[in-house]
């Protein structure tokens, strides 16, 4: 449809022309200048346009919000997690946006979900609502309890830009200490002296590249730089081992890792490397202190041809690669994701048949798969801070089963239900979930997880949302969603296309969807849509595609590849101007992303390959379906101008009459609005748009 704005206010300009390419001209390059008042005006005008176009859905939006709100138990308490003499949990209260973090002496009776925070022997450690007061945006980005449980380090983001300020709270008084550290990032770790805390700083390009040590009671200006990573391909973090005896500095690129150890009893000490980095070798380390007194490292690594990783062990005193010994060999059919070490057991997080599961290994001999949840379910290790205990928290969910917390005893194999998320008015027996497989263009079988009401007529008349991501080896596992019920209860179905580029089917699944295999991600998604249509689940006129971030790239690519397949497309904070971004190393994350997408500035073949699928570069004069794109002005991961430019080009180029819409959060970042009610309203906005597109608003 026609645009709402005047033509570009700046001259047409080439964008980083490379390799003799004299064709790429970008009419909307000027939108990158966030300091230009015209840019803010454009974004505000687009928001006004969205409100005007979708004003008839105001009632539907309000209804969906009220449905979400009515299903959520607004005043509730999380499943408590024991740590020594205390158990920790969070409370939510009706009408309050944020959680209240609490603890009390451990006991056999669960906390009363309706009790006011801080009653009786319960302590309020951190009330996010108090911290958020007066801010348009608030997010807690880090939380770390001191070893003696007397202090709490926490970091706060008040813009959505993911740069945080570190604070330390004395839990006896409830007051924050004078110690405040500005401009920090994810990653915190305490030393055993109870005074030293290690934190991470980002550089100008948002790459976390330094670990620093702050000593309580000293000036921040005297903080000591512990480690700096100079190679711009790598980013780092810091964490404390469950054993409490070491701190890890994890250094990673997309294809290579390196880990350094710091003795938690010697915070002034010098870190030592486990084994030096080697291109293409990835490993993750957990420390194990044997009851007999021996220290060793359990290592998940892709060495010796173990593409799907294997479990190895080495003495902590001599951790080099030449000393690694195999405990669980690599398996073609099972991807080993991580290991968690306890005094007498280790827990392996694995993927088999596309599903996440846990395996418990008794260090005295024997192993078992932890069985909980449905056949098409997702299971993971929850918070389990007690190193010497045998009981761990296991969490499970599926497309029909709300999130459920269990306590699993590693010694006896018994599993006890702790808490299942309560969903008001939800009747799980009304729905069914299953998995089907689509055949991609190269005959690869691609899994699809589906949920819908029982008795679905597969006559092609069904309304459906197909979700996809497909990058960074991130698996989009089946999980329950309260907001999704507004679709399902109206007769719509929901499906996840587990496309290549994700990690659902092991390392090869990821490798076949990145770099010069990236187009497999998009053709897989299209193949999934065609399969669902052929099997009678839906039809193009009743199918909405949805994805965000790298999944938003997928949305943009499939919109160009097969515009006829979709009634509408929702692209949230979409990475749609990927060629321009990957040509600009000054932008946050670009250099660290070269191993995922390639470096088109140095490689002409990759330049041409990325250009061949870049959504912004391939918008053409075709009849596009309705598009809703979102952006965050403070987003450091996908800059706001990518969806903003894309929407202008779509609107100016399409030969059809369907609406092209852009909604920008002007006080938020990549993850949208903060606060649970605000996030529900944001989701209700999208769900109302989807219901309208699918004809389900009556």
C-alpha to C-alpha distances, 571 to 467, 505, 548, nearest whole angstrom: 10, 25, 6
Rounded CA gap, 115 and 76, in Å? Answer: 9
Which tokens sit at 196?
């030293």
Count Cα atoms within 13 angstroms, Cβ side, for 210.
Answer: 15
Structure tokens, 499: 């496309």
Beta strands 310-315; 325-328: pairing state:
antiparallel
Angle in degrees, 0-180, between the axes of helices 37-53 and 641-653, rounded to the nearest 10? 60
Residues 6+ apart with CB under 8 A from 598: 515, 516, 582, 606, 609, 610
Q: Are β-strands 543-548 and 568-572 bridged in parallel, bridged antiparallel, or unpaired? A: parallel
Q: DSSP states of 637-689 as a string?
A: SS-THHHHHHHHHHHHH-SS---EEEEEETT-BTTB--SHHHHHHHHHHHHHH
User: Which active-site residues does the annotation give?
Assistant: 549, 635, 670
Which residues pair with residue 258 across a beta bridge?
251
Two tokens, residue 248? 């890890």
Cβ neighbour number for residue 210 with a 10 Å cutoff: 17
CB burial string 21-56: b at 16+ within 10 A, e below: eeebebbbbbbbeeeeeebeebbeebbebbeebbee
Of 662, 652, 644, which is closest to residue 624 (Cα–Cα)?
652
Joined tokens for residue 651 = 């609107």
Decide: 84 and 430 in contact? Cβ < 8 Å: no
Read out DSSP for 475-542? -------TTTHHHHTTT-EEEEE--BTBSTT-HHHHHTTSGGGTHHHHHHHHHHHHHHHHTTS--GGG
Bridge partner residues of 284 (DSSP): 300
Are 252 and 245 a contacting pair, CB within 8 Å? no
Closest CA to 31 of 9, 16, 1, 51: 9
Query: Are the CB atoms for 51 and 661 separated by under 8 Å?
Result: no
Q: What span, in angstroms and rounded, lies between the C-alpha atoms of 79 and 393?
A: 10
């Amino acid at each position: 449809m026609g645009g709402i704005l005047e033509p570009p206010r700046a001259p047409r300009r080439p964008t980083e022309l490379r390799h003799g390419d004299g064709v790429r001209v970008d009419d909307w390059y000027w939108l990158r200048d966030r300091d230009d008042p015209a840019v803010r005006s454009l974004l505000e005008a687009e928001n006004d346009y969205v409100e005007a176009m979708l004003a008839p859905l105001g009632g539907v939006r309000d209804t969906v919000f009220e449905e979400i709100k009515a299903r959520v138990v607004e005043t509730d308490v999380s499943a408590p997690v024991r740590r020594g003499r205390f158990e920790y949990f969070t409370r939510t209260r009706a009408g309050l946006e944020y959680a209240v973090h609490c603890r009390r002496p451990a006991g056999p009776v669960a906390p009363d979900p309706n009790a006011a925070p801080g009653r009786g022997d319960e302590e309020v450690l951190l009330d996010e609502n108090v911290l958020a007061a007066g801010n348009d945006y608030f997010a807690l980005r880090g939380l770390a309890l001191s070893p003696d449980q007397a202090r709490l380090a926490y970091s706060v983001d008040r813009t959505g830009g993911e740069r945080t300020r570190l604070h330390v709270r004395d839990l006896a008084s409830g007051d924050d200490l004078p110690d405040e550290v500005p401009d920090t990032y994810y990653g915190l770790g305490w030393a055993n002296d109870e005074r030293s805390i290690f934190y991470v700083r980002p550089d100008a390009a948002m790459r976390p590249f330094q670990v620093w040590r702050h000593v309580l009671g000293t000036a921040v200006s005297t903080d000591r730089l512990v480690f700096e990573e100079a190679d711009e391909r790598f980013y780092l973090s810091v964490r404390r081992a469950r054993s409490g005896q070491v701190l890890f500095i994890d250094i990673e690129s997309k294809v290579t890792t390196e880990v350094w150890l710091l003795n938690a009893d010697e915070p002034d000490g010098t870190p030592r490397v486990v084994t030096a980095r080697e291109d293409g070798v990835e490993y993750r380390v957990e420390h194990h202190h044997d009851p007999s007194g021996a220290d060793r490292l359990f290592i998940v690594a892709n060495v010796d041809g173990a593409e799907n990783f294997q479990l190895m062990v080495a003495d902590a005193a001599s951790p080099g690669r030449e000393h690694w010994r195999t405990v669980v060999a690599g398996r073609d059919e099972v991807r080993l994701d991580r290991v968690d070490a306890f005094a007498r057991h280790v827990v392996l997080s694995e993927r088999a048949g596309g599903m996440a599961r846990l395996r418990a290994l008794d260090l005295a001999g024997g192993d078992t798969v932890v069985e909980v949840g449905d056949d098409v379910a997702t299971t993971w290790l929850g918070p389990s801070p007690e190193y010497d205990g045998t009981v761990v928290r296991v969490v499970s969910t599926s497309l029909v089963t709300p999130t459920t917390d269990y306590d699993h005893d590693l010694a006896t194999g018994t599993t006890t239900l702790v808490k299942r998320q309560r969903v008001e008015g939800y009747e799980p027996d009304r729905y069914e979930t299953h998995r089907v497989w689509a055949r991609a263009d190269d005959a690869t079988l691609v899994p699809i997880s589906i949920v819908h009401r029982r008795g679905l007529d597969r006559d092609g008349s069904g309304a459906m949302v197909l979700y996809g991501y497909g990058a960074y080896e991130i698996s989009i596992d089946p999980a329950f969603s309260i907001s999704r019920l507004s679709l399902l209860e109206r007769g719509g179905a929901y499906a996840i296309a587990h496309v290549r580029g994700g990690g659902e089917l092991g390392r090869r699944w990821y490798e076949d969807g990145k770099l010069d295999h990236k187009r497999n991600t998009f053709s897989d998604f299209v193949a999934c849509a065609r399969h669902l249509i052929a099997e009678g689940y839906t039809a193009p006129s009743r199918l909405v595609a949805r994805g965000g971030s790298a999944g938003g790239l997928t949305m943009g690519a499939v919109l160009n590849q097969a515009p006829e397949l979709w009634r509408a497309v929702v692209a949230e904070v979409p990475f749609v101007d990927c060629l321009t971004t990957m040509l600009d190393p000054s932008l946050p994350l670009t250099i660290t992303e070269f191993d995922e997408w390639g470096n088109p500035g140095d490689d002409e073949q990759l330049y041409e390959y990325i250009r061949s699928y870049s959504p912004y570069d391939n918008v053409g004069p075709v009849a596009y379906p309705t598009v809703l794109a979102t952006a965050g002005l403070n987003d450091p991961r996908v800059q706001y101008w990518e969806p903003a430019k894309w929407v202008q080009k779509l609107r100016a180029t399409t030969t059809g009459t369907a609406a092209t819409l852009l909604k920008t959060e002007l006080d938020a970042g990549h993850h949208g609005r903060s606060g649970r009610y605000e996030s529900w309203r944001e989701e209700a906005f999208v769900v109302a748009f989807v219901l309208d597109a699918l004809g389900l608003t009556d």
